[in-house]
Amino acid sequence: MTSLPAAPPVPPSRARVWIAALRAPTLAAAVVPVSVGTSVAARHGFFRPGPAIAALLGALFIQIGTNFANDLYDFKKGADRPERLGPTRVLAAGWLSPESVRRAMLLSFGAAVLAGIYLAVVGGWAVLVIGIASIAAGIGYTAGRWALGYHGLGDAAVFIFFGIVAVAGTYYVQARSLTPLALAAAVPVGALCTNILVVNNLRDREGDRASGKRTLAVLLGRGGARAEYGAMLALAYAVPVFLWRGGEVGPAGLLPLLSIPLALPLLRVVLTHDDGPSLNGALFETARLHALFGSLFAIGILAP
């Protein structure tokens, strides 16, 4: 007897549909690097509220635009299927049309460009180049024949753009220079943001393989993805210790270590669980760890 396909989920209110589309829980990934970069700038006496706020708005709109782009192009390529293990995607569920998501993507990136123009005025033409590259990476993560996320390059892109570029770029638009601390502080931010993607791709590994989406989790296998998660955690927690031992930050710079009680159970779940609900929980908690670590790191950098 042939089983009937599962009925699509009932759409929530229009407002909730758009909240689901912009993936509100992911927005901390845009806030944290700006907070850390601004803390380093303030520590060095370069805090400038205008560029800091513009950097935050630009980062948020790039993140939102990237989320819309991912939804749109994953749907078009068949990677987001109704039976996926993660949260419901609005296009796969039929809650929004591809054209409406495309318009939302363009509006979001347009708003990011406006913030970028202001930052280019106060920070120089290099800032505009960085902004354009960030938008291109956001679209290119899932769009096109050589989409980064479909060729095992998504993890590196997240580490670079949500870590190094976002933190160091936030510092640069305020200080008009770069320092070793600004670059080093970007490493744990990028590492923990990468781990959000690692859990997501570990959960979706079988579906991604079937749809031809060759994420790093597909290429490395379950064991390789788990090892990557552990390595990114170790790297993130090593940096504050390294900076404290090197005299770049005071003892308060070790505040991120207070988040270890959250990190260790997460590592255990990722290493031992394969089911969707467990990895969905780990995905949410990894995002929470990223936010908590980043907040403690920003506070610790500011302290004497």
| Residue 151 DSSP SS3 | strand
Q: Give domain 14-302's CATH number out of 1.10.600, 1.10.20, 2.30.30, 1.20.120.
A: 1.10.600
Question: What pLDDT sits at residue 92?
Answer: 79
Q: Which residue has the tokens 């993805």?
A: 225
Q: From the CB of residue 181, how many other CB atoms can be counted at a distance below 10 Å?
A: 19
Ranges of each domain in the chain: 14-302
- Rounded CA separation 298/289 (Å): 14
Tell me what pLDDT residue 223 has. 95
pTM for this prediction: 0.89
Q: What is the mean pLDDT of residues 238-253?
A: 97
pLDDT digits (tens, 9 = 90+) for 200-236: 999 989 888 888 889 999 999 999 999 999 999 999 9
In terms of Cα–Cα distance, which of 252, 231, 262 is closest to 297? 252
- From residue 303, how far is each of 85, 249, 284 by CA, in Å? 42, 8, 29
> Tens digit of pLDDT for each residue in 78-96?
766 555 556 677 887 788 8
297: amino acid identity, one letter: F
Q: What integer pLDDT is reported at residue 4 of this predicted model?
A: 41
52, 38 in Cβ contact below 8 A? Answer: yes
**How far does Cα 221 stand from its chain's mean position?**
22
Q: Which helix (H) or strand (E) holds 244?
A: helix 216-245
On whether the CB atoms of residues 159 and 205 are closer than 8 A, the answer is no
